[in-house]
Amino acid sequence: MTIGLDAFSVAPMSLHFNVTSEAESVAEVRRAIEQFCADVGFDAKAAGEVGLVVNEAVANIIRHAYRGAAGKPIVVDADFADSTVRIRLRDWGSGEDPSLRPEKTDPLTPGGLGLVCMRRLMDELKFEPQKDGMLLVMSKKKAS
């Protein structure tokens, strides 16, 4: 079964690949990002946190931006410089900006916890609306 991974390249401090909006892509992207973080020196806990955030972000792209439609493009870019990993996820979906939603206050009600997790585990989280979708830019500094 093909999960939509159609290009994959790794330079010493960067990672770029394309996936499509299938559920299998979520785990593939998470594994790649966690490995990238480990390779640039993040400890297992921090690499896992970044992986969890990326997992939530990709799942949200599939669920919300593409409304569950399969086969839609997602571009994943990551780089490491100045002790900071920066991850960019680009989609061509609805373009709705989830950061405009009020922050979830009741953890017992369904939905919205992924965004809370993303905000709390990353140092920076920006949604940059594009004319034809969304660019999510996230960063986390490596602990000294």
Reported as type and span, the H/E element at residue 28 is: helix 23-39
| pLDDT for residue 10 | 47
- Rounded to the nearest 5 degrees, what angle is found at the Cα of 16, between the Cα atoms of 11 and 17? 135
Query: 116 in a domain, yes or no?
Result: yes
Tokens of 95: 């373009």
Report yes or no on 2 lying in a domain.
no
Stated pTM of the model: 0.86
Please tell me the predicted confidence (pLDDT) of residue 110: 56
Q: Which domain holds residue 101?
A: 7-141
In a 3-state reduction of DSSP, which class is residue 54?
helix
pLDDT in tens, 26-49: 999 999 999 999 999 999 999 999
Would you state the pLDDT for residue 106? 60
Q: Which residues are registered as beta bridge partners of 130?
A: 133
31: in domain: yes
* Predicted local confidence at residue 11, as pLDDT: 47
Q: What is the pLDDT of residue 37?
A: 97
CATH of the domain at 41: 3.30.565.10
- Residue 1 maps to a domain: no
Predicted local distance difference test score (pLDDT) of residue 107: 58
In a domain, 135, yes or no: yes
| Residues with pLDDT less than 50, the chain | 1-11
How many domains does the structure of the chain reveal? Answer: 1
Asked if 87 and 54 count as a contact pair (C-beta separation under 8 A), the reply is yes
